[in-house]
A and B are shown apart, each in its own frame.
Chain A
Amino acid sequence: DVQMTQSPSNLAASPGESVSINCKASKSISKYLAWYQQKPGKANKLLIYSGSTLQSGTPSRFSGSGSGTDFTLTIRNLEPEDFGLYYCQQHNEYPFTFGSGTKLEIK
């Protein structure tokens, strides 16, 4: 199984700042890495798939990069609604596996 190591576990930032979340796969997953946002009381939201492709409706302040084993989610000019939990997930092969999550909090 592909192990996904996500860092950091927690992140505190202020609105307007930029942050990055990293995800490392235990073996190459080509470009097939997705990022999701999770907020209480709401359905999980797909932000980015295939490493860098923005899902329809994802604001352009979100960007994804990487391939092979190392990936990064960057959020520029943080908005208040961006705070929450973020997960990476490899969608290259079964069993699909997720990172352990990053909690993005307001500083």
Chain B
Amino acid sequence: EVQLVESGGGLVQPGRSLKLSCAASGFTFSSFPMAWVRQAPKKGLEWVASISSGGGGTYYPDSVRGRFTISRDNAKSTLYLQMDSLRSEDTASYYCARHYPTTEEFDYWGQGVMVTVSS
């Protein structure tokens, strides 16, 4: 069974940093591209970052490029999201998601972790 379990969320002050982790199990982690998707309270879904299966390719929307960094450790089957220079508008639940390799839809999701950016 595919499982994605996020951790590392919490309350952080504006301008500070936070690192999220996603522990994957039930599949060959190194074979799949991965992603982070977020959802602000009472709002819709927003794609945040993606990374290729080997880690050599990373992709971001303009809203987080230069502030967020996605990475992975295939030996540990773990995905990361380093979030720097956090803003109040980054407050959201952050979901780890698996990309289907060829067509890139998000075929499995974690249950999410909450990040609150507030002073």
Name A's B-contacting residues (CB within 8 A): 1, 32, 34, 36, 38, 41-46, 49-50, 55, 87, 89, 91, 94-101
Q: Main SS of the interface on chain A?
A: loop
CB-defined contacts of B41 to chain A, threshold 8 Å: none
B interface residues, tally (CB under 8 Å): 22
A98 and B111 form a contact (CB under 8 A): no
A49 and B47 form a contact (CB under 8 A): no
CB-defined contacts of B105 to chain A, threshold 8 Å: 32, 34, 46, 49-50, 89, 91
CB-defined contacts of A50 to chain B, threshold 8 Å: 103, 105
Q: List 7 A-B contacts (CB under 8 A).
A: A34-B106, A36-B45, A43-B108, A43-B111, A50-B103, A91-B106, A98-B45
Name B's A-contacting residues (CB within 8 A): 4, 44-47, 50, 59-62, 95, 97, 100, 103-111
Residue of B nearest to A42 (CB): B111
Given contacts A43-B110, A43-B111, A44-B95, contact A32 B103 (CB under 8 A): yes
Complex alpha-carbon distance, A42 and B110, angstroms: 9
